[in-house]
Protein backbone atom coordinates (compact mmCIF):
# COMPACT_ATOMS: atom_id res chain seq x y z
CA UNK A 1 0.00 0.00 0.00
CA UNK A 2 1.09 3.55 -0.63
CA UNK A 3 -0.24 6.82 0.76
CA UNK A 4 0.95 10.35 1.52
CA UNK A 5 0.41 10.31 5.30
CA UNK A 6 0.26 7.00 7.20
CA UNK A 7 -1.67 7.48 10.43
CA UNK A 8 -1.26 5.13 13.40
CA UNK A 9 -4.34 5.26 15.66
CA UNK A 10 -8.05 5.90 15.08
CA UNK A 11 -8.72 8.11 18.08
CA UNK A 12 -9.78 11.76 17.81
CA UNK A 13 -6.27 12.87 16.70
CA UNK A 14 -5.77 10.29 13.94
CA UNK A 15 -9.31 10.48 12.59
CA UNK A 16 -9.48 14.27 12.65
CA UNK A 17 -6.09 14.49 10.94
CA UNK A 18 -7.26 12.11 8.22
CA UNK A 19 -10.45 14.18 7.80
CA UNK A 20 -8.62 17.53 7.59
CA UNK A 21 -6.07 16.11 5.15
CA UNK A 22 -8.85 14.76 2.95
CA UNK A 23 -10.43 18.23 2.82
CA UNK A 24 -7.04 19.55 1.67
CA UNK A 25 -6.78 16.87 -1.04
CA UNK A 26 -4.12 14.85 0.81
CA UNK A 27 -4.29 11.07 0.95
CA UNK A 28 -3.99 9.10 4.19
CA UNK A 29 -4.56 5.61 5.57
CA UNK A 30 -5.46 5.10 9.25
CA UNK A 31 -4.59 1.87 11.04
CA UNK A 32 -5.95 0.90 14.47
CA UNK A 33 -5.35 -2.14 16.65
CA UNK A 34 -8.80 -2.08 18.29
CA UNK A 35 -12.12 -2.94 16.65
CA UNK A 36 -14.45 -0.27 15.31
CA UNK A 37 -17.03 -1.22 17.98
CA UNK A 38 -14.45 -0.73 20.76
CA UNK A 39 -13.41 2.71 19.45
CA UNK A 40 -17.03 3.83 19.23
CA UNK A 41 -18.04 2.57 22.68
CA UNK A 42 -15.27 3.65 25.03
CA UNK A 43 -16.58 6.43 27.33
CA UNK A 44 -13.99 9.20 27.79
CA UNK A 45 -14.06 12.84 28.87
CA UNK A 46 -16.93 14.73 27.35
CA UNK A 47 -16.04 18.37 27.35
CA UNK A 48 -15.26 20.23 24.16
CA UNK A 49 -13.69 23.65 23.84
CA UNK A 50 -15.65 26.16 21.84
CA UNK A 51 -13.35 26.22 18.78
CA UNK A 52 -13.22 22.39 18.58
CA UNK A 53 -17.01 22.20 18.29
CA UNK A 54 -16.86 24.99 15.70
CA UNK A 55 -14.17 23.14 13.73
CA UNK A 56 -16.32 19.98 13.63
CA UNK A 57 -19.30 22.03 12.47
CA UNK A 58 -17.29 24.01 9.89
CA UNK A 59 -15.72 20.89 8.39
CA UNK A 60 -18.99 18.98 7.96
CA UNK A 61 -18.93 16.65 11.00
CA UNK A 62 -21.17 18.70 13.27
CA UNK A 63 -24.60 17.50 12.29
CA UNK A 64 -25.20 15.15 15.27
CA UNK A 65 -23.17 17.42 17.55
CA UNK A 66 -25.54 20.29 16.72
CA UNK A 67 -28.50 18.09 17.56
CA UNK A 68 -27.25 16.21 20.62
CA UNK A 69 -24.51 18.15 22.39
CA UNK A 70 -25.40 20.06 25.53
CA UNK A 71 -24.16 23.63 25.34
CA UNK A 72 -23.16 25.16 28.67
CA UNK A 73 -22.62 28.81 29.58
CA UNK A 74 -20.28 27.97 32.46
CA UNK A 75 -19.57 25.72 35.43
CA UNK A 76 -20.28 25.60 39.15
CA UNK A 77 -17.58 25.27 41.77
CA UNK A 78 -18.84 24.00 45.15
CA UNK A 79 -17.04 24.31 48.47
CA UNK A 80 -18.00 25.03 52.08
CA UNK A 81 -21.66 24.15 51.43
CA UNK A 82 -22.07 26.71 48.64
CA UNK A 83 -22.06 26.42 44.81
CA UNK A 84 -20.72 29.41 42.86
CA UNK A 85 -21.32 29.90 39.15
CA UNK A 86 -18.62 30.98 36.71
CA UNK A 87 -20.41 32.24 33.60
CA UNK A 88 -18.01 31.93 30.66
CA UNK A 89 -20.51 33.35 28.24
CA UNK A 90 -20.99 36.50 30.26
CA UNK A 91 -17.26 36.85 30.96
CA UNK A 92 -15.75 36.08 27.53
CA UNK A 93 -18.66 35.40 25.16
CA UNK A 94 -17.86 31.67 24.78
CA UNK A 95 -19.73 28.48 25.63
CA UNK A 96 -18.53 24.88 26.00
CA UNK A 97 -20.02 21.67 24.60
CA UNK A 98 -20.70 18.38 26.38
CA UNK A 99 -20.30 15.60 23.82
CA UNK A 100 -18.43 12.41 24.70
CA UNK A 101 -15.19 11.67 22.89
CA UNK A 102 -16.70 8.38 21.69
CA UNK A 103 -19.38 10.34 19.83
CA UNK A 104 -16.69 12.43 18.11
CA UNK A 105 -14.90 9.20 17.14
CA UNK A 106 -18.17 7.65 15.88
CA UNK A 107 -18.96 10.73 13.75
CA UNK A 108 -15.43 10.95 12.32
CA UNK A 109 -15.30 7.23 11.42
CA UNK A 110 -18.65 7.53 9.60
CA UNK A 111 -17.49 10.66 7.78
CA UNK A 112 -14.13 9.21 6.70
CA UNK A 113 -15.68 5.98 5.45
CA UNK A 114 -18.49 7.96 3.75
CA UNK A 115 -15.85 10.06 1.97
CA UNK A 116 -14.07 6.91 0.74
CA UNK A 117 -11.33 7.03 3.38
CA UNK A 118 -9.40 3.93 4.43
CA UNK A 119 -9.38 2.86 8.09
CA UNK A 120 -8.01 -0.58 8.88
CA UNK A 121 -9.25 -1.85 12.26
CA UNK A 122 -7.88 -4.74 14.33
CA UNK A 123 -4.38 -4.61 12.92
CA UNK A 124 -1.64 -6.43 14.88
CA UNK A 125 2.11 -6.22 15.42
CA UNK A 126 2.45 -2.67 14.13
CA UNK A 127 5.95 -1.27 13.70
CA UNK A 128 7.29 1.87 11.99
CA UNK A 129 10.50 2.08 9.93
CA UNK A 130 12.80 4.46 8.03
CA UNK A 131 11.21 7.69 9.28
CA UNK A 132 14.66 9.02 10.08
CA UNK A 133 15.65 9.90 6.55
CA UNK A 134 14.44 7.50 3.89
CA UNK A 135 10.89 6.51 2.90
CA UNK A 136 8.85 5.78 6.00
CA UNK A 137 7.06 2.45 6.23
CA UNK A 138 4.41 1.09 8.56
CA UNK A 139 4.34 -2.69 8.90
CA UNK A 140 1.56 -4.70 10.56
CA UNK A 141 -0.61 -7.77 10.20
CA UNK A 142 -4.20 -7.43 9.07
CA UNK A 143 -6.59 -10.36 8.71
CA UNK A 144 -3.64 -12.68 9.28
CA UNK A 145 -1.56 -11.27 6.38
CA UNK A 146 1.62 -9.17 6.63
CA UNK A 147 1.10 -5.67 5.23
CA UNK A 148 3.22 -2.62 4.56
CA UNK A 149 2.25 1.00 3.94
CA UNK A 150 4.85 3.16 2.27
CA UNK A 151 4.27 6.84 2.92
CA UNK A 152 5.85 10.32 2.86
CA UNK A 153 5.15 10.92 6.54
CA UNK A 154 3.94 8.99 9.58
CA UNK A 155 1.55 10.56 12.09
CA UNK A 156 1.84 8.83 15.47
CA UNK A 157 -1.65 9.23 16.95
CA UNK A 158 -1.56 5.95 18.88
CA UNK A 159 -1.97 7.19 22.43
CA UNK A 160 0.22 7.15 25.50
CA UNK A 161 0.82 3.38 25.35
CA UNK A 162 1.32 3.33 21.57
CA UNK A 163 4.37 2.15 19.63
CA UNK A 164 5.29 5.42 17.87
CA UNK A 165 6.87 7.44 20.69
CA UNK A 166 9.10 4.57 21.91
CA UNK A 167 10.22 3.97 18.30
CA UNK A 168 12.15 7.27 18.41
CA UNK A 169 15.77 6.76 19.55
CA UNK A 170 15.94 7.49 23.29
CA UNK A 171 18.68 10.08 22.80
CA UNK A 172 16.45 12.17 20.50
CA UNK A 173 13.63 13.11 22.90
CA UNK A 174 12.83 13.76 26.50
CA UNK A 175 9.69 13.22 28.58
CA UNK A 176 8.57 15.66 31.28
CA UNK A 177 6.51 13.90 33.89
CA UNK A 178 4.32 14.53 36.93
CA UNK A 179 2.42 11.73 38.67
CA UNK A 180 -0.36 12.70 41.11
CA UNK A 181 -0.96 10.75 44.32
CA UNK A 182 -4.61 10.02 43.52
CA UNK A 183 -6.98 8.80 40.80
CA UNK A 184 -10.61 9.31 39.80
CA UNK A 185 -13.30 6.68 40.18
CA UNK A 186 -15.67 7.50 37.30
CA UNK A 187 -19.21 6.18 36.89
CA UNK A 188 -21.86 6.45 34.21
CA UNK A 189 -25.31 6.42 35.80
CA UNK A 190 -28.95 6.24 34.83
CA UNK A 191 -29.95 9.32 36.82
CA UNK A 192 -30.51 13.02 36.15
CA UNK A 193 -27.51 15.30 36.83
CA UNK A 194 -27.99 17.44 39.97
CA UNK A 195 -27.58 20.68 37.95
CA UNK A 196 -27.87 21.56 34.27
CA UNK A 197 -24.17 22.47 34.16
CA UNK A 198 -21.09 20.77 35.66
CA UNK A 199 -20.32 21.02 39.39
CA UNK A 200 -16.66 20.77 40.50
CA UNK A 201 -16.62 20.07 44.27
CA UNK A 202 -13.85 20.66 46.75
CA UNK A 203 -14.63 18.69 49.91
CA UNK A 204 -12.76 17.62 53.02
CA UNK A 205 -13.17 13.98 51.92
CA UNK A 206 -11.82 14.70 48.44
CA UNK A 207 -12.72 16.09 45.03
CA UNK A 208 -15.93 15.18 43.18
CA UNK A 209 -17.23 16.16 39.73
CA UNK A 210 -20.83 16.02 38.55
CA UNK A 211 -21.02 15.91 34.76
CA UNK A 212 -23.58 14.41 32.39
CA UNK A 213 -24.24 12.74 29.07
CA UNK A 214 -27.93 13.61 28.78
CA UNK A 215 -30.94 14.73 30.83
CA UNK A 216 -31.21 11.24 32.40
CA UNK A 217 -27.56 10.12 32.24
CA UNK A 218 -24.86 11.39 34.58
CA UNK A 219 -21.08 11.08 34.42
CA UNK A 220 -19.74 11.36 37.97
CA UNK A 221 -16.25 11.22 39.40
CA UNK A 222 -14.70 11.00 42.89
CA UNK A 223 -11.09 11.37 43.97
CA UNK A 224 -9.73 8.01 45.23
CA UNK A 225 -6.28 6.64 46.10
CA UNK A 226 -4.14 5.88 43.03
CA UNK A 227 -4.60 2.41 41.53
CA UNK A 228 -7.83 1.95 43.46
CA UNK A 229 -9.80 -1.17 42.51
CA UNK A 230 -13.18 0.08 41.23
CA UNK A 231 -14.81 -3.23 42.22
CA UNK A 232 -14.05 -2.49 45.89
CA UNK A 233 -16.73 0.19 45.71
CA UNK A 234 -20.37 -0.90 46.06
CA UNK A 235 -23.02 1.20 44.32
CA UNK A 236 -24.35 2.36 47.71
CA UNK A 237 -20.85 3.46 48.78
CA UNK A 238 -20.35 5.41 45.56
CA UNK A 239 -23.68 7.21 45.90
CA UNK A 240 -23.04 7.92 49.58
CA UNK A 241 -19.65 9.42 48.84
CA UNK A 242 -20.99 11.51 45.95
CA UNK A 243 -23.78 12.86 48.14
CA UNK A 244 -21.38 13.74 50.97
CA UNK A 245 -18.95 15.53 48.66
CA UNK A 246 -21.73 17.44 46.89
CA UNK A 247 -22.12 18.99 50.33
CA UNK A 248 -25.87 19.58 50.14
CA UNK A 249 -25.59 22.30 47.47
CA UNK A 250 -28.11 20.39 45.29
CA UNK A 251 -30.34 17.35 45.86
CA UNK A 252 -28.85 14.20 44.29
CA UNK A 253 -31.09 11.56 42.68
CA UNK A 254 -29.64 8.05 42.71
CA UNK A 255 -29.97 5.55 39.86
CA UNK A 256 -28.46 2.48 38.27
CA UNK A 257 -24.67 2.54 37.82
CA UNK A 258 -24.04 1.48 34.22
CA UNK A 259 -20.22 1.54 34.13
CA UNK A 260 -17.37 2.21 36.50
CA UNK A 261 -13.60 2.55 36.22
CA UNK A 262 -10.55 4.32 37.62
CA UNK A 263 -8.75 7.07 35.66
CA UNK A 264 -5.07 7.57 36.48
CA UNK A 265 -3.82 11.10 37.04
CA UNK A 266 -0.67 12.07 35.25
CA UNK A 267 0.90 14.95 33.34
CA UNK A 268 3.36 14.04 30.59
CA UNK A 269 4.97 15.95 27.70
CA UNK A 270 7.32 14.62 25.00
CA UNK A 271 9.79 17.08 23.51
CA UNK A 272 10.17 17.42 20.62
CA UNK A 273 6.96 16.02 19.11
CA UNK A 274 8.72 15.18 15.85
CA UNK A 275 11.60 13.01 14.70
CA UNK A 276 12.49 13.03 10.99
CA UNK A 277 9.31 12.18 9.11
CA UNK A 278 7.43 10.99 12.21
CA UNK A 279 5.08 13.49 13.86
CA UNK A 280 3.44 12.69 17.22
CA UNK A 281 -0.01 14.09 18.04
CA UNK A 282 -2.43 13.82 20.96
CA UNK A 283 -1.85 11.37 23.82
CA UNK A 284 1.09 9.79 21.95
CA UNK A 285 2.97 13.00 22.78
CA UNK A 286 1.32 14.28 25.96
CA UNK A 287 -1.28 13.46 28.56
CA UNK A 288 -2.99 15.64 31.13
CA UNK A 289 -4.83 14.84 34.35
CA UNK A 290 -8.58 14.84 33.60
CA UNK A 291 -9.50 17.95 35.63
CA UNK A 292 -10.67 20.47 33.02
CA UNK A 293 -10.88 17.81 30.27
CA UNK A 294 -8.12 19.14 28.04
CA UNK A 295 -6.98 15.79 26.58
CA UNK A 296 -9.08 15.59 23.42
CA UNK A 297 -8.97 19.35 22.92
CA UNK A 298 -5.16 19.35 22.85
CA UNK A 299 -5.20 16.39 20.46
CA UNK A 300 -7.45 18.24 18.02
CA UNK A 301 -5.25 21.35 18.33
CA UNK A 302 -2.15 19.29 17.43
CA UNK A 303 -3.69 17.89 14.26
CA UNK A 304 -5.06 21.30 13.24
CA UNK A 305 -1.47 22.60 13.30
CA UNK A 306 -0.13 19.43 11.65
CA UNK A 307 -2.71 19.33 8.85
CA UNK A 308 -1.88 22.92 7.91
CA UNK A 309 1.82 22.08 7.86
CA UNK A 310 1.24 19.08 5.55
CA UNK A 311 -0.96 21.26 3.36
CA UNK A 312 1.80 23.87 2.97
CA UNK A 313 4.27 21.09 2.16
CA UNK A 314 2.13 19.52 -0.58
CA UNK A 315 0.74 22.76 -2.05
CA UNK A 316 3.88 24.87 -2.25
CA UNK A 317 6.78 22.81 -0.95
CA UNK A 318 6.92 25.12 2.05
CA UNK A 319 8.68 23.32 4.91
CA UNK A 320 8.57 26.10 7.52
CA UNK A 321 5.31 24.96 9.16
CA UNK A 322 6.44 21.32 9.31
CA UNK A 323 9.74 22.38 10.86
CA UNK A 324 7.82 24.50 13.35
CA UNK A 325 5.19 21.85 14.18
CA UNK A 326 6.68 20.74 17.48
CA UNK A 327 7.35 24.25 18.74
CA UNK A 328 3.89 25.52 17.72
CA UNK A 329 2.04 22.51 19.18
CA UNK A 330 4.08 22.52 22.43
CA UNK A 331 3.30 26.18 23.03
CA UNK A 332 -0.38 25.28 23.41
CA UNK A 333 0.31 21.91 25.07
CA UNK A 334 2.23 23.52 27.95
CA UNK A 335 -0.58 26.02 28.51
CA UNK A 336 -3.01 23.10 28.64
CA UNK A 337 -0.66 21.31 31.02
CA UNK A 338 -0.42 24.36 33.22
CA UNK A 339 -4.20 24.76 33.38
CA UNK A 340 -4.88 21.04 34.05
CA UNK A 341 -2.24 20.95 36.78
CA UNK A 342 -3.63 24.13 38.32
CA UNK A 343 -7.26 22.91 38.37
CA UNK A 344 -6.04 19.56 39.77
CA UNK A 345 -3.96 20.99 42.61
CA UNK A 346 -6.63 23.55 43.52
CA UNK A 347 -9.54 21.10 43.74
CA UNK A 348 -8.06 17.87 45.19
CA UNK A 349 -7.26 16.90 48.76
CA UNK A 350 -3.53 16.37 49.21
CA UNK A 351 -3.50 15.16 52.83
CA UNK A 352 -5.89 13.82 55.46
CA UNK A 353 -5.35 16.80 57.72
CA UNK A 354 -6.64 20.33 57.45
CA UNK A 355 -3.19 21.85 57.02
CA UNK A 356 -1.63 25.00 55.58
CA UNK A 357 -2.20 23.85 52.00
CA UNK A 358 -5.86 23.07 52.64
CA UNK A 359 -6.42 26.58 53.99
CA UNK A 360 -4.51 28.05 51.04
CA UNK A 361 -6.65 25.99 48.60
CA UNK A 362 -9.88 27.24 50.16
CA UNK A 363 -8.63 30.83 49.88
CA UNK A 364 -7.73 30.21 46.23
CA UNK A 365 -11.14 28.71 45.38
CA UNK A 366 -12.85 31.59 47.17
CA UNK A 367 -10.77 34.05 45.13
CA UNK A 368 -11.16 32.23 41.80
CA UNK A 369 -14.95 32.09 42.18
CA UNK A 370 -15.27 35.67 43.42
CA UNK A 371 -12.93 37.87 41.40
CA UNK A 372 -13.97 38.83 37.84
CA UNK A 373 -10.29 38.88 36.81
CA UNK A 374 -9.67 35.37 38.17
CA UNK A 375 -12.93 33.97 36.76
CA UNK A 376 -12.06 35.46 33.35
CA UNK A 377 -8.68 33.74 33.40
CA UNK A 378 -10.31 30.40 34.26
CA UNK A 379 -12.96 30.94 31.56
CA UNK A 380 -10.37 31.70 28.84
CA UNK A 381 -8.46 28.52 29.56
CA UNK A 382 -11.47 26.29 30.18
CA UNK A 383 -13.42 27.34 27.06
CA UNK A 384 -10.21 27.18 24.98
CA UNK A 385 -7.39 29.64 24.33
CA UNK A 386 -7.52 31.26 20.87
CA UNK A 387 -6.40 28.85 18.16
CA UNK A 388 -5.48 31.12 15.28
C1 LIG B 1 -15.84 15.57 32.07
C2 LIG B 1 -14.60 15.16 32.47
C3 LIG B 1 -13.72 16.07 33.00
O4 LIG B 1 -12.50 15.69 33.38
C5 LIG B 1 -14.08 17.39 33.14
O6 LIG B 1 -13.19 18.26 33.68
C7 LIG B 1 -15.30 17.80 32.73
C8 LIG B 1 -16.20 16.87 32.19
C9 LIG B 1 -16.80 14.58 31.52
O10 LIG B 1 -16.42 13.42 31.32
O11 LIG B 1 -17.96 14.93 31.29
pLDDT in tens, 290-344: 999 999 999 999 999 999 999 999 999 999 999 999 999 999 999 999 999 999 9
Task: Label residue 46 by pLDDT band (50, 70, 90).
Answer: confident
Q: Catalytic amino acids?
A: 72, 200, 290, 294, 382
Q: pLDDT digit string (tens) for 69-89?
A: 999 999 999 999 999 999 999
CA 76–ligand 1 middle distance (angstroms): 13
- Expressed in percent and rounded to 5, the helix, strand and coil fractions of the chain are 40, 30, 35
Q: pLDDT digit string (tens) for 153-163?
A: 999 999 999 99
* CATH number of the structural domain 180-265+353-383: 3.30.9.10
* Residues 179, 56: Cα–Cα separation, whole Å: 32
CA 57–ligand 1 middle distance (angstroms): 21
Domain boundary assignment for the chain: 2-46+100-173+272-343, 180-265+353-383
Q: Which atom number of ligand 1 is nearest to the Cα of residue 292? A: 6
* Residues 380, 16: Cα–Cα separation, whole Å: 24
| DSSP structure string for 216-258 | TEEEEEEEE-TT--GGGS-HHHHHHHHHHHHTTSS-----EEE
pTM of the model: 0.97
pLDDT at residue 43 is higher than 90 = no
Helix (H/G/I), strand (E/B), else coil: 98: strand
* Residues 220, 217: Cα–Cα separation, whole Å: 10
What CATH fold (topology level) applies to the domain 2-46+100-173+272-343? Answer: FAD/NAD(P)-binding domain (3.50.50)
Q: pLDDT digit string (tens) for 174-227?
A: 999 999 999 999 999 999 999 999 999 999 999 999 999 999 999 999 999 998
Q: How far from the centroid of its chain's Cα atoms is residue 35's Cα?
A: 20
Amino acid sequence: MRTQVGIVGAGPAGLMLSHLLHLAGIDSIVIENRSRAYCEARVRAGLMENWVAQLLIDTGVGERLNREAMVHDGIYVAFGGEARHIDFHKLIGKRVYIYDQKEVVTDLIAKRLGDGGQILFEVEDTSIHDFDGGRPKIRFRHGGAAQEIECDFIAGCDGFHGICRPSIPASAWRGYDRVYPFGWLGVLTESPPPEDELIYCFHERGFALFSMRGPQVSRLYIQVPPEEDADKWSDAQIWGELETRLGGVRPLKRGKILQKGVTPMRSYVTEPMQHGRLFLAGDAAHIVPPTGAKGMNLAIADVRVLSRAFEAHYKSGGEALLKDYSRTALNRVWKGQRFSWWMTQMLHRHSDEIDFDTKRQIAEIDYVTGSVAAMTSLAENYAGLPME
